[in-house]
Amino acid sequence: MAASQVIEPLHLFAIPSEVLDNLTLRQSPLAQPRPSEPIVEEQVPVAPSNPGAASCNLCPGTALNDVQEQRAHFRSDWHRYNVKLRLQNPTATPVTETQFASLVDGLEESISGSESPDSNESDASEDKVTTLLQRTRLKGKSRSVSPEGRNIPKSPILWFTSPNIQDTQFGIYATIFSTNSSSDTYVQELRDMQDGGEEGRQWAVFMTAGGHFAGAVIRVSKSVAEKTAEAAEAAAAAAAPAAPKKKTKASKVPPKPAFFLEVIRHKTFHRYTTFITPITSDGLTTAPARRKQGGSQSVNDNAKGPAKSAGALLRRYGEQALKDDIRGLLTEWREDIEASERIFIRANTANMRIFLDFDDSPIEK
């Protein structure tokens, strides 16, 4: 295929072999590992100045000659900081007394400005240690350079390239692939999708929001037998001698699309479930209604308690009727839904329960 050839939009289930055989997933630039930062050598723990004195197992460089010094050390901000640092991150390296003094110097201005005149010393020390730990936690997150540990933004579209087609990228929605697939199996799944199987491929789509519902069961790919028969007919037509064409006016009928799509079932309906609040002006007339910035009646009932107005009763009835209508439709379409290879549902958390949380649901969780 020439590099300058114009590529028409491709159908997911009819990708040309010259494109599919060389298709590769384009790696995101954000997924590339960053240049490694220079490694800062950790300071070697300082040995106690008095070899015969007791020491703290956590704080490096301590020398505790008697019980009074041990008690004073365990109550110090330095020791409490190292203890909480280890609890926060077991792999963290405790700081020496000199390092802790440097950290405290950096907080001196902010701590002195935030203290009140009647605050006691223990509260100030606790605030000091807490602030240092918060800064250490934030600094540790900002210095993370591991590509696996970074939260790389996810795109809803996966982009593929083919070496034999220059300056062209092919975008496929990530939701098309199975949930347990990885970047190593995307191309193989695309190859499998070219095979329609014995009965073809069938997908189901459901959407609900604001009292509206739309659902459809679609046959997106023909079976192997149908594709074979069409290929044989096309080959026979190409081999047959072409009949002389009559001069006729150009037909205005658009050409048939290159892809196959058959809607097996479809349904839409609506129920009154959301608030509609009238806007009054000067207390006499009523302006056109607008939707309230809120939600469904059930959300309002959970937050403020059940309302007793006529509108609230209508909205509760609409919510229950919408739930019953959707579940009745799912039961009616059970055979087609169970035969669907993919089921796409667009709904919030509350509405998702309509499809899944009822006995004998045709959609498995």
* 24: helix, strand or coil: strand
Please measure the distance between the N-terminal and C-terminal CA atoms of the chain and give it in whole angstroms. 44
Per-residue pLDDT band at 216 (split at 50, 70, 90): very high
Number of Cβ atoms within 10 Å of the Cβ of 13: 19
What pLDDT, on a 0 to 100 scale, did the predictor assign at position 270? 92
Q: What is the rounded CA–CA span in Å between residue 154 and residue 276? A: 36
What pLDDT, on a 0 to 100 scale, did the predictor assign at position 338? 92
Mean of the per-residue pLDDT values for the chain?
A: 74
- Are 262 and 219 in contact, with CB atoms under 8 Å apart? yes
Lowest-pLDDT range, 41-45, 274-278, 305-309, 357-361? 41-45
Backbone angles phi, psi at 144, to 5 degrees: -70, 125
Query: Residue holding tokens 């037909």?
Result: 251
Those residues whose C-beta lies under 8 Å from the C-beta of residue 98, and which sit 6 or more positions away, are none
Q: How many CA atoms lie within 13 A of 184 on its CB side?
A: 0
E-assigned strand segments in 57-155: none
Bridge partners, 160 (sequence order): 25, 170
Query: Residue holding tokens 């600094």?
Result: 139
- Closest by Cα among 72, 73, 69 to 60: 73
Q: What is the rounded CA–CA span in Å between residue 87 and residue 136? A: 13
**pLDDT tens-digit series, residues 258-302:** 567 889 999 999 988 876 554 454 544 444 444 444 566 666 666
Q: Within its chain, how far is the Cα of 81 from the centroid?
A: 37
Paired sense of beta strands 157-162 and 165-173, if any? antiparallel
Q: What is the rounded CA–CA span in Å between residue 221 and residue 15? A: 12
- Are 129 and 78 in contact, with CB atoms under 8 Å apart? no
Q: What is the rounded CA–CA span in Å between residue 15 and residue 21? A: 10
Structure tokens given for 38: 């220079």
- Are 84 and 129 in contact, with CB atoms under 8 Å apart? yes
- Are 79 and 73 in contact, with CB atoms under 8 Å apart? yes
Backbone angles phi, psi at 277, to 5 degrees: -105, 125
CB-count burial class (<10 Å; 0-12, 13-18, 19+) for 328: exposed
What's the rounded mean pLDDT across residues 208-237?
82
Backbone angles phi, psi at 147, to 5 degrees: -60, -30
Structure tokens given for 266: 């479809």
pLDDT at 32 over 60: no
Confirm whether pTM is higher than 0.85. Answer: no
Q: Give the residue, 141 or 340, on which the prediction is more confident.
A: 340
Residue type, 89: N
Q: What is the rounded CA–CA span in Å between residue 175 and residue 252? A: 37
Structure tokens given for 265: 């079932």
Q: Give the residue, 6 or 200, on which the prediction is more confident.
A: 200
